[in-house]
């Protein structure tokens, strides 16, 4: 295509800062032609590798392969990002149409015998090429990737693999779309003011705005986190808490067209087939063969160790909450929709901790200053907002990021507020990764997407402390992407083992309770008053409130994930019953008929965490151990931060993660720091 094409994806050089994608110019009509052109371009590049008459070596095979497919990656990154952040019916229909084509193309590469022969030849001869560590990692990564994607299968098996992966790609996409649509389908409309008693002013204002936008009287509550979470914490009306709880916890398990039960069964069974075809007993065996944990025995050992350590604490916490509910309101049967409400009452009584009051000190713009300022203090990087970088929605902001020496480092997009076209939760992603090209460092374009309370009634966006945690978490992922400094695209940024990728994010959460950090930005949004020392002391004191319950909840998700992915035979049973059995060892409250997490568990059924959800707890062990170094040396200690940047954040997947960790920490991690941080020991 020439430079004058009207398809933005196919232009090589944009008239934008740092050659950022013209996100505002990309329409639905641009995707499919660009995908076809990208596929053609990549296949031409692959054919040039195959047809090269020179003996296979690192440069003409592995490096060439790593450089291929840039146009297609640009388009698919954009498509994936928009399906999560700015999805429409038209875009979802397009995704359903192009996904089989993309899967076919991916298989055409990974199942290409001649290409694999060259990759294998390079691997077999790697010792004679004098490769550096990163190059050796890249060779191993491509070889393993091709083997794990069917390269060693015979022709009949390859055809079976193609069919299985094509089905899986469509099913996971449909799962995600059903979850979004069913979540958006639920609303709670209230017109009686007595039924919103207890709710914070900001939530009431947001619900009133929702109602007004839908030409309704009163208040309209949705399942978006800024509505749902405070409703469950503060609404005095128990029946309405139950209604919201059931709405949230039955997503895609209701009797409608968005029910995901059959899709869950189908995905689980197809994954068994894929694993068996590739020589593994279970899908977990297949996944964990390429993770730090290595096998399901190690995962279960972690989950069971956590269960044994935290369950006694969690049981006592549950007894305390139940006693409070009985004492205050005569409730003899503590239910899941009571947990957040009475926990919040107890936390306030025990620590005088009022998370809603703290919102007044966490104005979003000040939080941004604080979080960016933390990165400046640790790593010397600075941020400058740009109005010239194109964005995909009016709520999106863009920032140019510069290194300590003033050199351009990255572009960072932020997208903070919920809308019907956006998935729930929070995540970091990239429009473009980092790599070296012809000696030039090609820097990344990173995006942070969250769902925070928007400004309402003349008030700015105000976060609670949990949302500050979320911001810090996702910003840690962003730092991993922005500070990447490797040579090869496939090893850059967050391209690391899935059970290592959460270390850079979770270590940032530790700062949320540190006085010296909070003092840098926590100001009252009206008076500008610094957050009082007494309030910061309460945050610290309440840090481990219900830590046992929180841990066992995460363990339950890990157990559910492993239950689905250690199946050895086709599952034909009831999804809800299977889930409740998996949850039973760590269940603290009654399991409610009709509720089901599996049908909306996007991490494992449409994301990349299948047989990997344990990674959050695995990384928590790492982050507690790693942050203990910051605590020993001072939380802003430049030498410690520089070591973390140089040994973890900048390295991407260029070395084995345990080797990187030991270079930073000096030894392997233990669970002791986590148990100590949570007050278990």
Catalytic residue among 344, 355, 474, 535: 474
Examine the pLDDT at 382 and tell me if it is beyond 90.
Answer: yes
- Dihedral angle at the C-alpha atoms of 516, 522, 523, 525, nearest 10 degrees? 180
- Determine the Cα–Cα distance for residues 623 and 127; give it in Å rounded to an integer: 35
User: Do 376 and 458 belong together in one domain?
Assistant: yes
CA neighbours within 13 Å on the CB side: how many for 5? 16
User: Do 274 and 243 belong together in one domain?
Assistant: no
User: Do 556 and 632 belong together in one domain?
Assistant: yes
**Which among 555, 552, 550, 518 has a CA at the least distance from the CA of 534?**
518
* pLDDT at residue 4, as a whole number: 45
Element (H, E) at 675: helix 672-677
3-state DSSP assignment of residue 660: helix
Helices 547-565 + 575-583 axis angle, to 10: 130
Position 653 in a domain: yes
User: Do 577 and 508 belong together in one domain?
Assistant: no
CATH of the domain at 13: 1.20.1050.40
* pLDDT at residue 5, as a whole number: 57
Chain-wide mean pLDDT for the chain? 96
Segment 21-34 shows an average pLDDT of 97
Examine the pLDDT at 295 and tell me if it is beyond 70.
Answer: yes
Beta bridge partners of 383: 401
Domain final residue pick, 542, 565, 581: 542
3-state DSSP assignment of residue 381: coil
Position 257 in a domain: no
* pLDDT at residue 40, as a whole number: 98
Segment 438-466 shows an average pLDDT of 94
Position 240 in a domain: yes
Examine the pLDDT at 553 and tell me if it is beyond 80.
Answer: yes
- Determine the Cα–Cα distance for residues 124 and 130; give it in Å rounded to an integer: 13
Number of domains in the chain: 4
Position 321 in a domain: yes
Segment 407-433 shows an average pLDDT of 97
Position 261 in a domain: no
User: Do 566 and 590 belong together in one domain?
Assistant: yes
Examine the pLDDT at 412 and tell me if it is beyond 50.
Answer: yes
Measured from the Cβ of residue 156, the count of other Cβ atoms closer than 10 Å reads 8
* pLDDT at residue 466, as a whole number: 95
pLDDT tens sequence across 659-670: 999 999 999 999
- The percent of residues in the chain predicted with pLDDT above 70, rounded, is 99
Segment 197-215 shows an average pLDDT of 95
pTM of model > 0.75:
yes
CATH of the domain at 420: 1.10.1370.40
pLDDT band at 6 (very low <50, low <70, confident <90, very high): confident
Domain final residue pick, 109, 136, 152: 152
Chain position carrying tokens 């000040």: 366
User: Do 403 and 434 belong together in one domain?
Assistant: yes
Segment 530-557 shows an average pLDDT of 96
User: Do 673 and 630 belong together in one domain?
Assistant: yes
User: Do 73 and 48 belong together in one domain?
Assistant: yes
Domain coverage including residue 415: 360-542
Question: CB–CB of 41/72 below 8 Å?
Answer: yes
Domain final residue pick, 542, 560, 575: 542
User: Do 370 and 467 belong together in one domain?
Assistant: yes
Examine the pLDDT at 185 and tell me if it is beyond 80.
Answer: yes
Examine the pLDDT at 106 and tell me if it is beyond 70.
Answer: yes
Position 602 in a domain: yes
CATH of the domain at 300: 1.10.1370.10
- Determine the Cα–Cα distance for residues 421 and 224; give it in Å rounded to an integer: 11
Position 346 in a domain: no
Question: Residue 226, exposed/middle/buried by CB under 10 A (0-12, 13-18, 19+)?
Answer: buried
Position 106 in a domain: yes
User: Do 618 and 655 belong together in one domain?
Assistant: yes
Question: CB–CB of 509/465 below 8 Å?
Answer: no
**443: CB partners within 8 A, 6+ apart:** 18, 408, 409, 410, 411, 434
* pLDDT at residue 458, as a whole number: 86
Specify the pairing of strand 219-221 against strand 382-386: unpaired
Question: Residue 633, exposed/middle/buried by CB under 10 A (0-12, 13-18, 19+)?
Answer: middle
pLDDT tens sequence across 467-519: 999 999 999 999 999 999 999 999 999 999 999 999 999 999 999 999 999 99
User: Do 673 and 617 belong together in one domain?
Assistant: yes
Segment 96-100 shows an average pLDDT of 97
- Respond yes or no: is residue 349 known to be catalytic: no
User: Do 616 and 580 belong together in one domain?
Assistant: yes
Gyration radius of the chain over CA positions = 25
CA neighbours within 13 Å on the CB side: how many for 86? 17
pLDDT tens sequence across 72-82: 999 999 999 99
Examine the pLDDT at 118 and tell me if it is beyond 70.
Answer: yes
Angle at 79 between CA 452 and CA 149, to 5 degrees: 115
pLDDT tens sequence across 241-264: 999 999 999 999 999 999 999 999
């Amino acid at each position: 295509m020439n430079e004058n094409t009207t398809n933005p994806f196919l232009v090589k050089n944009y008239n934008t800062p740092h050659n950022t994608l013209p996100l505002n110019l990309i329409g639905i009509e641009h995707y499919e032609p660009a995908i076809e052109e990208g596929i053609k371009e990549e296949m031409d590049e692959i054919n040039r590798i195959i047809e090269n008459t020179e003996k296979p070596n690192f440069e003409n095979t592995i490096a060439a392969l790593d450089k291929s497919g840039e146009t297609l990656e640009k388009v698919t990154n954009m498509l994936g990002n928009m399906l999560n952040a700015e999805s429409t019916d038209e875009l979802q229909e397009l995704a359903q149409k192009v996904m089989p084509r993309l899967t076919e193309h991916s298989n055409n590469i990974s199942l290409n015998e001649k290409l694999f022969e060259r990759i294998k030849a390079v691997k077999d001869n790697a010792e004679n090429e004098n490769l550096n560590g990163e190059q050796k990692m890249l060779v191993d990564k491509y070889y393993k990737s091709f083997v794990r994607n069917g390269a060693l299968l015979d022709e009949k098996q390859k055809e079976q693999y193609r069919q299985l992966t094509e089905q899986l790609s469509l099913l996971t996409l449909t799962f995600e779309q059903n979850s979004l649509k069913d979540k958006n389908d639920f609303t709670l409309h209230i017109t009686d003011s007595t039924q919103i008693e207890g709710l914070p002013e900001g939530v009431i204002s947001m619900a009133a705005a929702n109602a007004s936008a839908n030409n309704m009287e009163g208040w309209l509550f949705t399942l978006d986190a800024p509505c749902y979470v405070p409703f469950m914490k503060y609404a005095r009306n128990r029946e309405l808490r139950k209604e919201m709880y059931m709405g949230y916890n039955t997503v895609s398990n209701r009797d409608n067209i968005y029910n995901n039960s059959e899709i869950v069964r189908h995905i689980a069974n197809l994954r068994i087939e894929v694993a068996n075809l590739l020589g593994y007993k279970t899908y977990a065996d297949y996944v964990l063969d390429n993770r730090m944990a290595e096998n399901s025995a190690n995962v279960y050992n972690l989950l069971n160790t956590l269960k044994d350590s935290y369950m006694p604490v969690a049981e006592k916490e549950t007894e305390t909450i139940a006693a409070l509910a009985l004492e205050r309101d005569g409730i003899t049967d503590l239910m899941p929709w009571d947990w957040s409400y009475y926990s919040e009452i107890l936390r306030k009584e025990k620590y005088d901790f009022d998370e809603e009051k703290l919102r007044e000190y966490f104005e979003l713009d000040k939080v941004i200053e604080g979080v960016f300022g933390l990165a400046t203090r640790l790593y010397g990087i600075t941020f400058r907002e740009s109005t010239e970088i194109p964005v995909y929605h009016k709520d999106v902001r863009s920032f140019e990021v510069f290194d300590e020496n003033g050199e351009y480092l990255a572009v960072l997009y932020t997208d903070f507020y919920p809308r019907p076209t956006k998935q729930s939760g929070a995540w970091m992603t990239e429009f473009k990764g980092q790599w070296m090209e012809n000696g030039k460092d090609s820097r990344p374009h990173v995006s942070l997407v969250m769902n925070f309370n928007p400004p309402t009634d003349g008030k700015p966006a105000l976060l609670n402390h949990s949302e500050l945690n979320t911001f810090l978490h996702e910003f840690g992922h962003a730092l991993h992407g922005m500070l990447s400094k490797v040579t090869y695209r496939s090893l850059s940024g967050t391209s690391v083992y899935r059970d290592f990728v959460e270390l850079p994010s979770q270590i940032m959460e530790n700062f949320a309770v540190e006085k010296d950090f909070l003092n840098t930005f926590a100001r009252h949004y009206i008076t500008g008053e610094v957050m009082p020392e007494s309030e910061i002391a309460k945050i610290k004191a309440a840090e481990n409130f219900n830590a046992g319950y929180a841990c066992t909840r995460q363990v339950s998700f890990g157990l559910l994930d492993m239950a689905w992915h250690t199946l050895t035979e086709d599952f034909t049973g009831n999804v809800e019953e299977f889930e409740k059995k998996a949850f039973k060892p760590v269940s603290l409250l009654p399991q409610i008929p009709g509720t089901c997490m599996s049908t909306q568990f996007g991490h494992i059924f449409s994301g990349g965490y299948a047989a990997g959800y344990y990674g959050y707890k695995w990384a928590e062990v790492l982050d507690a151990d790693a942050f203990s170094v910051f605590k020993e040396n001072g939380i802003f200690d430049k030498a410690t931060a520089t070591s973390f940047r140089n040994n973890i954040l900048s390295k991407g997947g260029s070395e084995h993660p345990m080797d990187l960790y030991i270079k930073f920490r000096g030894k392997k991690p233990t669970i002791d720091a986590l148990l100590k941080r949570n007050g278990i020991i």
